[in-house]
Structure 1
Amino acid sequence: MEFKNIDEQIIQKYKEDETLMVRLFVQWCANFDLDPQVLYHRAYPAQSINVLLKEVIESDDGFDELHIGNETMLDVLQMFGNDDLAFVVADEIQRLEK
């Protein structure tokens, strides 16, 4: 029984961390007036709508004052294995710096 509880805690923690990653991505996009769904679709064109991304976009979570640095955003995406999305974000960073 104890192992099941630990497994559930690990899964819950991962979900919380994943939600935070998506919130940071949405806020980073807002900071630069970018559409997070467009960027996500460019990174993962074969995937259907990301439900978590949609939920985060629709919620008003009060992150408006938070500025996410470009390197931080790339690091967070890569930490979660979102390399394709990190590549799209890196392209946007280059485009924005021009």
Structure 2
Amino acid sequence: MKNKVIEQYEADENMMIQIYVQWCFNHDINPVDLYSRAYPNQASNEVMLEVMESTEKNSTLIDTGTVLYVLQLFGNDDLAFVVSEAAKT
């Protein structure tokens, strides 16, 4: 049961990353640069780099409210703040 919960969390986390990357691509924003502004002391996110390779601009439309909600749902408040600032420009 414990492994099932962990697998589900990882799958959900991957979906959050896909939503974030898609939103960034759709707004001509580099996801790695934006992530680095929110978390300057963290190493690169390998999952995000993998997702970036398979994401095409505008393949899925993601509104800003959705990406903010999903980021906050996973406790990425700093990234949500940076995304909301980027959305204003």
TM-score between the two structures when normalised by the length of structure 1: 0.85
What's the secondary structure of 1:65's corresponding residue?
coil
Aligned to 2:11: 16
1:66-95 Cα deviation digits (max 9, x unpaired): 100110110000000000000000100111
What is the one-letter code of the residue matched to 1:23?
A: Q
Query: As a proportion of its length, which structure holds more helix?
Result: 1
- Aligned counterpart in structure 2 of residue 68 of structure 1, from 50, 56, 62: 62
- What's the offset of the Cα at 1:24? 0.6
What is the one-letter code of the residue matched to 2:42?
A: Q
Q: What runs of 5+ residues in structure 2 fail to find an aligned partner?
A: none
What is the one-letter code of the residue matched to 2:46?
A: V
- What's the offset of the Cα at 1:61? 5.1
TM-score between the two structures when normalised by the length of structure 2: 0.94
Q: Does 1:90 align with 2:84?
A: yes
Q: Distance in 2 between matches of 1:62 and 1:32?
A: 12
Structure number with bigger Rg: 1
Where has structure 1 moved over 4 Å in runs of 4 or more?
61-64
Aligned to 1:3: none
Q: CA separation of 1:93/1:47 partners in 2, compared to 1, >3 Å: closer, same or farther?
A: same
- Matched-pair identity in %: 44
- What's the offset of the Cα at 1:33? 0.8
What is the one-letter code of the residue matched to 1:31?
A: N
**Root-mean-square deviation (CA), in Å?**
1.4
